[in-house]
Chain A
Amino acid sequence: MSTLCAAAVVLALLPLGFILFYIVSRGISALNPAFFTKLPKPSGETGGGMANAIVGTLKLIGLASAASVPAGIGAGIYISEFPGSRTSTLVRFCADVLNGVPSIVVGIVAYGLVVLPMKRFSAIAGAVALAIMMVPIITRSTEELLRLVPVSLREGALALGASRARAVWSVVLPSALPGIITGVLIAVARIAGETAPLLFTSFNNQFWAPGLDQPTASLTVQIYNYAISPYDDWHRQAWAGALVLVAIVLAFSMLARVATRRLERMNVG
């Protein structure tokens, strides 16, 4: 029986190894300085790179975080500070619902809410779609972590005469901060790899996209376009893009794990 379980582990790790091997081996061969600095070339021409896609992805992540982090943390604070109320239960339920919405559906909604009224595809629309996906993750993790803060800490602050807001802001939040950051990092890792919601919100762009109201290239959409093309050079670049993307996502996930580990150690002590 334990061999069966061990076999299951191997079976799951095999594709992982496979995928990572392919990404690294095929991606590295196409990674060169041009990849990071040049813009895409016209159809069929070799050379060119994904510079605008990399910047575009970082830009979308930044915008989405700017929108979702305050909202998510605020909602998380609310649920943990007023736990019994019906509103809190409702908010928790809605956060769980949002966590399960397929990203393509979020894309449709963002198209209707942002792209159509603005009459253009834009980085804002893409960021809205990504932010919708980040908010529930941040909300739930903030709530969980604030609950972990010992009640005595909060009560101590209140006993010293602080108002509720002051107690949370100056005492509870700082002690839960590493965990909250972890939650944000997890949310970022989740959306950094998303393609579907960007297909009809931020669209794509062969050039740099200054400002916020232009279609924006992103790593994920660019990889998609290159992967289904018939050009070998584009396939190679798609693998390189995949390598960069996985590196970005892994970097955020690792950071999150390190922060969690540190938090666990802090709270145990």
Chain B
Amino acid sequence: MTRVAKILVVAAAALFGAVSAGAQTIQLNGAGSTFGTPIYTKWFSEYNKIHPNVQINYQSIGSGGGIQQVTAHTVDFGASDGPMTPEQMAKAPGIMHFPTVLGGVVPMYNIPGVNVDLRFTGPVLANIYLGRITKWNDPAIAKLNPGVKFPALPIAVVHRADGSGTTYIWADYLSRVSPEWKTKVGVSTSLKWPVGVGGKGSEGVSGQVRQQPGAIGYVELIYALQNHIAYGFVQNADGKFLKATLGGVTAAAAAAARKMPADFRVSIVNAPGPDAYPIASFTWLLVYRHPSDAVRGKIMKDFLHWMLGDGQKYCADLGYAPLPREVIRMEEAAVDKLQQ
């Protein structure tokens, strides 16, 4: 018995001790937006290569989750693609928003036999998501896409099951182009969806669309690219049909960049301009102005400076647009104010 006990004790010590290697390693925890997950996880991995003793653990649980956990102080920072509402900010005093990248939300679909990029208008997308257009061979869709042969397949609407900033951006856009959507459903990270199936995370939605014939979903551009799934053109405020590109997203931010409010909470959906992609958005990190742990706060500050400098170089490869220069300048000043 004692020998067994000794072996168990040694094994336990090894288990707990071995993975404590590197006593100076410090871990930060963040959670939130799945919209930004590809670039965030890339950043944290690269930052860890430069600073091996800093590990930033990021979990993509949705923007709503980021807001909730940062409010409850269970994480060191949050991430969201929908800026916090005044009510949410009242519950979480001292949280600052820092834009990180620009991204676009695209309509992705899976229609057997259709291999071209389809054109959508805002009202058509709204009607699909309201359940008014139920089949792919509906005349409203056919009118926008002459020459495409649509099967009489029911449209399998996919949306986010979890609280999501991507949902916020999508709903923000639909509210501006469809008064019915605005009154009936509204804008938030979690909605009462009229129709459709819920997928968990952008990962879940794109996974679902991939597997379901006739499905349509909305995801961040990168998920459509990484998954090699068709995504469509969307008509912008000026009437042009655009496919989400870095240029289009950057153009959408151009007007906002000049008028950026001090707290960085701004919407660039349906922005004016011939080249502006209509469903574009900033995405933000939610950081405590006065974190309880000074060491972690300093690391956060360092990371933000790195993010605004070298970090922006990783954007293009992953399908995000880097921040406009004016915004970066404003942010550097704001980052300096942290912990003061």
Inter-subunit contact A231/B226 (CB<8 Å): yes
Map CB proximity to A onto B1-44 as digits: 1 under 8 Å, 0 otherwise.
Answer: 00000000000100110011110010101010000011001101
Inter-subunit contact A116/B203 (CB<8 Å): no
Provide the bound-state CA to CA distance between A207 and B30, in Å: 13
The answer to whether A43 and B200 touch (CB under 8 A), given A121-B74, A207-B27, A215-B29, is: no
For the complex, is B121 an interface residue (Cβ under 8 Å from A)?
no
Inter-subunit contact A116/B57 (CB<8 Å): no
Inter-subunit contact A230/B223 (CB<8 Å): yes
- Shortest distance from the beta carbon of B221 to any chain A beta carbon, whole Å: 13
Inter-subunit contact B226/A214 (CB<8 Å): no
Inter-subunit contact B20/A210 (CB<8 Å): yes
For the complex, is A102 an interface residue (Cβ under 8 Å from B)?
no
Q: B21 — which chain A residues lie within 8 A by C-beta?
A: 208, 210
Q: B207 — which chain A residues lie within 8 A by C-beta?
A: 228-230
Q: B75 — which chain A residues lie within 8 A by C-beta?
A: 120-121
Inter-subunit contact A230/B210 (CB<8 Å): yes
Q: B48 — which chain A residues lie within 8 A by C-beta?
A: 207
Inter-subunit contact B57/A206 (CB<8 Å): yes
Q: A116 — which chain B residues lie within 8 A by C-beta?
A: 72, 74
Inter-subunit contact B57/A44 (CB<8 Å): no
Provide the bound-state CA to CA distance between A215 and B30, in Å: 11
For the complex, is A115 an interface residue (Cβ under 8 Å from B)?
yes
For the complex, is A211 an interface residue (Cβ under 8 Å from B)?
yes
For the complex, is B199 an interface residue (Cβ under 8 Å from A)?
yes
Closest to A229 in B: B203
- Shortest distance from the beta carbon of B4 to any chain A beta carbon, whole Å: 11
Q: B131 — which chain A residues lie within 8 A by C-beta?
A: none
User: Residues of A at under 8 Å CB distance from B?
Assistant: 41-44, 52, 55, 58-59, 62, 115-116, 119-121, 203-212, 214-215, 225, 228-231
Task: Please provide the 5 A-B residue pairs with the shortest distance between their CB atoms, ordered closest to farther.
Answer: A210-B20, A42-B41, A229-B203, A230-B206, A43-B38
Known pairs A52-B19, A115-B74. 7 more at Cβ < 8 A? A58-B15, A121-B74, A204-B57, A206-B44, A211-B16, A214-B27, A231-B203
